[in-house]
Amino acid sequence: MAKQVNKKNVRKPKKIVSPFNIYWKKRNFIFLFTGLIVIISGFVLLSLGSWDSFPSLFISPVVLLIGYLIILPASILFTDKNEVENKDAQEITAAKN
């Protein structure tokens, strides 16, 4: 008869969560595409008329600043507080175990 081999208990490694996951939700993508539309409209306003027209000198820089400095960073930085709190609580309980 064949010998029986005792198997050692092999622990499965813990699942490692990558810190580089994409945390973007639908709301972030909406902000991103809105920002891109605002930026494109700013460049369209920049191209209207001659170089010293009112839209080219005054309206388009304001529209571009809003797109680049407010809407795009908002799309990157916006997260739900509940989601962040839940992740922190899960990390704390995982560290205790």
Q: DSSP string of 20-47?
A: T-----HHHHHHHHHHHHHHHHHHHHHH
CB distance 44 to 69 below 8 Å: no
CB distance 44 to 22 below 8 Å: no
Q: How many domains does the chain have?
A: 1
Classify residue 34: in a domain, yes or no: yes
Tell me which residue range forms the domain holding 75.
26-96
Classify residue 16: in a domain, yes or no: no
Please give, one letter per residue, the 3-state secondary structure of 49-89: CCCCCHHHHHHHHHHHHHHHHHHHHHHHHCCCHHHHHHHHH
pLDDT tens, residue by residue, 23-77: 778 888 999 999 999 999 999 999 988 889 998 999 999 999 999 999 999 998 8
Classify residue 17: in a domain, yes or no: no
Classify residue 13: in a domain, yes or no: no
